[in-house]
């Protein structure tokens, strides 16, 4: 039997589809191992406020019924500034001690892991689970919500493409991702976009973009889809400049928060369930300061400090193939020249 008898679970930072599946897994795996499980509401803020029955509630198996298929997080979430200060961390630790919470599962992004690390220094066993649509957690090749967000954005972009074709327009579609271009890159490939602007790669050479659009039109394409990452931004002003320079009607669409909601895909549900269980198993094994990750096809755990120091790079090969598959960038790579077809 595990030394850990009581655990808590919270979701923190931006919500992501699949977070409910992860919470459900934590609760049911914890119960299966004979633990008492508390749900902490509104992220770290709930832990700091600590009001019983409001911020902290014991969760039983039936409390997580009918949640796996739902978007958002039924525990709610917050970006908690108070947790960045020692006084907030102390209060959060006091709440854990008050309820006998020995282990805490934190579902969120890098910022949430930093809070978890501080709590670990106060004697609480912590395990992080990667929950963010942005896929920007360096230690993990998968983050909960990314798959659903990409699918949601992809469907929306298909629709924008229909109307762009009808009107012979250029469309700049901005997708989320904060400083990372993963959603943009995946949508760019999945939607067959003509151009993809990634914060990691964009050289801000707008003339090159304009030349591509004109070239594309000359080849008879009725639309030109540009997927722009949030980290590049400025889609509306870019659209105005492109329209002025090309004479082609250009519209900007910012997809925004719709990407964070909706029914989680099977991938998000299954990976979130697996990661939630593994987080509890880590606590049960006496581990602390760990983060769960999916790396090279396996579910693993890393030291939180090591994980926070890791750096992630966007796949050069995916960037290359995105360019290679886009019609206007089609290049005869063997001869190193642009083709005309």
- What is the set of active-site residues? 134
Contact call for residue 14 and ligand F6P (CB under 6 A): yes
Contact call for residue 230 and ligand F6P (CB under 6 A): yes
Contact call for residue 173 and ligand F6P (CB under 6 A): no
Q: Which stretch binds ligand F6P (CB under 6 A): 2-10, 26-34, 176-184, 266-274?
A: 176-184
- Member of 5, 178, 312, 323 binding ligand F6P (CB under 6 A): 178
Contact call for residue 229 and ligand F6P (CB under 6 A): no
Task: Tell me the closest approach of the beta carbon of residue 260 to ligand F6P, in angstroms.
Answer: 5
Contact set for ligand F6P, span 98-127 (CB under 6 A): none
Number of Cβ within 10 Å of residue 88's Cβ equals 19
What is the Cα Rg of the chain in Å? 23
- Member of 260, 269, 289, 290 binding ligand F6P (CB under 6 A): 260
Contact call for residue 18 and ligand F6P (CB under 6 A): no
Contact call for residue 7 and ligand F6P (CB under 6 A): no
- Member of 55, 117, 134, 195 binding ligand F6P (CB under 6 A): 134
Task: Tell me the closest approach of the beta carbon of residue 201 to ligand F6P, in angstroms.
Answer: 18
Task: Tell me the closest approach of the beta carbon of residue 159 to ligand F6P, in angstroms.
Answer: 21
State the Cα–Cα distance between residues 60 and 54, nearest whole angstrom. 16
State the Cα–Cα distance between residues 106 and 82, nearest whole angstrom. 16
Task: Tell me the closest approach of the beta carbon of residue 33 to ligand F6P, in angstroms.
Answer: 31
User: Contacts with ligand F6P: how many residues (CB under 6 A)?
Assistant: 10
State the Cα–Cα distance between residues 242 and 252, nearest whole angstrom. 11
Q: Which stretch binds ligand F6P (CB under 6 A): 33-41, 68-76, 130-138, 317-325?
A: 130-138
Contact call for residue 177 and ligand F6P (CB under 6 A): yes
Q: Which is nearer to ligand F6P, 56 or 184 (CB)?
A: 184
Contact call for residue 133 and ligand F6P (CB under 6 A): yes
Task: Tell me the closest approach of the beta carbon of residue 57 to ligand F6P, in angstroms.
Answer: 24
Question: Per the structure block, which two tokens stand in for 1?
Answer: 């039997």
Task: Tell me the closest approach of the beta carbon of residue 44 to ligand F6P, in angstroms.
Answer: 14
State the Cα–Cα distance between residues 251 and 271, nearest whole angstrom. 36
Contact call for residue 176 and ligand F6P (CB under 6 A): yes
Q: Which is nearer to ligand F6P, 124 or 183 (CB)?
A: 183
State the Cα–Cα distance between residues 314 and 318, nearest whole angstrom. 8
Burial class (CB in 10 A: 0-12, 13-18, 19+), 242: buried
HEC assignment per residue over 161-175: HHHHHHHCCEEEEEE
Q: Which is nearer to ligand F6P, 103 or 177 (CB)?
A: 177
Q: Which is nearer to ligand F6P, 22 or 133 (CB)?
A: 133
Binding residues for ligand F6P (CB under 6 A): 14, 79, 132-134, 176-178, 230, 260
């Amino acid at each position: 039997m595990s030394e850990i008898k009581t655990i808590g679970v919270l979701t923190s930072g931006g919500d992501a589809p699949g977070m409910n599946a992860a919470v459900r897994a934590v609760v049911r795996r914890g119960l299966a191992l004979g633990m008492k499980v508390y749900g902490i509401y509104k992220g770290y803020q709930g832990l700091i406020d600590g009001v019983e029955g409001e911020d902290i509630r014991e969760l039983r198996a039936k409390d997580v019924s009918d949640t796996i298929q739902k978007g958002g997080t039924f525990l709610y979430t917050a970006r908690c500034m108070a947790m960045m200060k020692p006084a907030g961390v102390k209060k959060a630790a006091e709440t854990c001690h008050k309820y006998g919470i020995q282990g805490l599962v934190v579902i969120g992004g890098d910022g949430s892991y930093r809070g978890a690390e501080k709590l670990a220094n106060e004697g609480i066993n912590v395990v992080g689970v990667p929950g963010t649509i942005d896929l920007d957690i360096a230690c993990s090749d998968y983050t909960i919500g990314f798959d659903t967000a990409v699918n949601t954005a992809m469907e929306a972009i298909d629709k924008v493409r229909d109307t762009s074709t009808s009107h012979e327009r250029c469309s700049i579609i901005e997708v989320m991702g904060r400083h990372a271009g993963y959603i943009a890159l995946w949508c760019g490939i999945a939607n067959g976009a003509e151009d993809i602007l990634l914060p990691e790669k964009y050289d801000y050479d707008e003339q090159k973009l304009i030349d591509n659009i004109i070239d594309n039109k000359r080849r008879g394409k009725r639309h030109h889809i540009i997927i722009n990452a949030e980290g590049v931004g400025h889609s509306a002003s870019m659209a105005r400049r492109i329209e002025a320079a090309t004479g082609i009607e250009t519209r900007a669409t910012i997809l925004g928060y719709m990407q964070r909601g909706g029914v989680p895909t099977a991938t998000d549900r299954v990976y979130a369930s697996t990661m939630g269980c593994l987080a509890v198993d880590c606590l049960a094994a006496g581990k602390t300061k760990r983060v769960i990750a999916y790396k090279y096809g396996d579910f693993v755990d890393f030291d939180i400090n090591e994980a926070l120091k890791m750096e992630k790079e966007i796949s050069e090969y995916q960037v290359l193939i995105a360019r290679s598959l886009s019609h206007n960038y089609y290049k005869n790579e063997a001869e190193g020249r642009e083709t005309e077809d």
